[in-house]
Amino acid sequence: MGRIKELDGLRAIAILGVLASHFVPPNTRLTNLLQLGWTGVDLFFAISGFLITGILIGLRQKETPFRTFYWRRTLRIFPPYYLALVLIVALALVNAERVHYRDVARDALFLSSSTPSLIKLAVQRLLFQMPSSSLAELKHSDYPLPHFRDCLGVYWSLSVEELFYLVWAPIILKGSRRVILLCSVAPLLVCPVLRGLAHTTPLYDESFGFVFRFDSLAAGGCVALLQWGLDHGYLTRKVVDRGLTLIIVASSLGLFVLARINGVWRGMDVRTQLSFSMFGVSLLAVFCASLVLAFARWSGELGILSYVLRSKSVVYVGTISYTVYLIHLPIYVAFKLIVLRLFGPGAIASVGLATLTGVLAATCTILLAGLSWRCIETPILRLKEKRFPGVAEKRSTLPIMEAAIT
C-alpha cells in the first residue's frame, strides 16, 4: 500500500507554518500573517486523528491489537523525543540556566498538556462558583526566548497526541459502532463549552490542554469514519464528496468572519478572544479534518495543488516534520544567543538580523532533522516493521500507511 503524498505535503505546510510563527521578526508587515502559523498544529492534529483512527480500525481483527499499536507508536515517537529532551536540558545547563526538573519530568511523562487548574476553573464556573484563581495567578503558556529551558513549552502538542493515543485506542479497538460514533462526535460539542468555561481573557491557556483540545483530534477521527462508511457502503461517493465540499467552504467562511470580528487584521491574537476560543478552534478543527479527507480521497486529482504537495522537496519536509518540530526551538535559541554575543542586545530589535536568524535556524533544523531521519529514525522504523508489522489494507479501504504518521 502506497503512501498518500498529499498528507506529507500538508505536514510540510503545517511545520513551515509553525516555524514561521516562532521565527517571525517583530513589527513587520508580514508579522500578523505569519503569526497565524500556529494553526499548523491543528492541521497536525487532524492528520493524526484521521490516520490513527484508520489504523486502529484495521487492527480490530488482529490478535494483539493493543500490543501492536502501542509498540509501533512507542518506537516511532519515543527515541527522537527523548533525544531532543536530553539535548535541551544539556544545552540549558551549559548555558547556566536554572532548570525546573519538575517541568522536565512532566514533559518526559507526556503530561505537560494536563491542566488540572484549568479543569478546576471550568468546573467552578459551571457550578456558578467564584474561581479560586485570580487572573494574575494563571500562568500564561508562552516561549520567552532565548532560554533553552523554555523550549520545552512547545511539547504540549505532543503530550496532547500521546494522551489521545491512550484514550482513543480502547474506544476504537473495543467499542461498538455506536460508542465509536458517539465518542467521535461528542468532543465537537463538549470541548467548545469547556474552553469557554476555562477561558480568561487575555490569556488562552485552554488552547494547550488535552481536555480542551480533544476535538481537534476527534475531528480527524470523524472524517476517517466517513471514509470507512463510504468504503463499506453506508454512504455514497456523491454524498461524501458534496458534503465534504460544503463543509470546507462553510468552515473556511466561518473562520474568516470570526477571525475578522476578533481583530486578526489589527494584529490581535484571536485565541485570546472568548468567541474564537469556543467556536473558532472547533471550526478550525473541522476545516483541517475536512481538508485532510479531501486530499486523501482526491489524491493526484487536484491539479496544481496535488503537483505541489506531491513534489519531492515538499514530501521530504513533511516526512521529517516530526523531528523538525522537536528541535526547531532549541536551534533557534542557539542562533539567537550567537547573534546576541556577536552584536549585543540591540541586535534583537533589528528586523534584518531577526529574519536572517530565522532563516538560518530553519535551514539548520531541516538539515539536522534529515540527518536524524536517515541515521536514527529509519533504522528504528525498519525494526518496527519487522517486530510489529502493521495491517495490510487495500488502497480503497482507508488509504493510509502508519509509517507516514509523525
Residue with cell 531521519: 373
9, 16 Cβ separation under 8 angstroms: no
A 10 A CB-CB count for 43 gives: 25
80-134 pLDDT, tens per residue? 999 999 999 999 999 999 999 999 999 999 999 999 999 999 999 988 876 654 4
**How far apart (Å, rounded) are the C-alpha atoms in residues 194 and 109?**
24
**How far apart (Å, rounded) are the C-alpha atoms in residues 398 and 175?**
19
**How far apart (Å, rounded) are the C-alpha atoms in residues 61 and 198?**
40
Exposure letters 378-400 (e unless 16+ CB within 10 A, then b): eeebeebeeebebbebeeebbbb
pLDDT in tens, the chain (406 residues): 357 899 999 999 999 999 999 988 776 667 777 888 999 999 999 999 999 999 999 999 888 999 999 999 999 999 999 999 999 999 999 999 999 999 999 999 999 999 999 999 999 998 887 665 444 444 444 555 689 999 999 999 999 999 999 999 999 999 999 999 999 999 999 999 999 999 988 888 999 999 999 999 999 999 999 999 999 999 999 999 999 999 999 999 999 999 999 988 888 889 999 999 999 999 999 999 999 999 999 988 989 999 999 999 999 999 999 999 999 999 999 999 998 888 887 766 777 888 889 999 999 999 999 999 999 999 999 988 888 887 543 333 333 334 344 4
3-state SS, residue 214: helix
186-240 pLDDT, tens per residue? 999 999 999 999 998 888 899 999 999 999 999 999 999 999 999 999 999 999 9
**Cell numbers describing residue 116:** 488540572
Helix residue ranges, H only, 98-148: 101-108, 116-126
Residues 6+ apart with CB under 8 A from 279: 192, 254, 258
CA–CA distance from 225 to each of 147, 246, 288 (Å)?
43, 18, 15
End-to-end CA distance of the chain: 18
Which pLDDT does position 400 carry in this prediction? 35
Which pLDDT does position 391 carry in this prediction? 59
DSSP state of 128: T
Provide the residue ranges of all domains of the chain, joining segments of one domain with +: 5-404
Of 275, 216, 265, 226, nearest to 246 by C-alpha is 226
For residue 80, the one-letter residue type is: P
**Cell numbers describing residue 192:** 467548545
Residues 6+ apart with CB under 8 A from 170: 66
Which pLDDT does position 131 carry in this prediction? 62
25, 355 Cβ separation under 8 angstroms: yes
CA–CA distance from 345 to each of 70, 142, 144, 310, 334 (Å)?
47, 21, 15, 43, 15
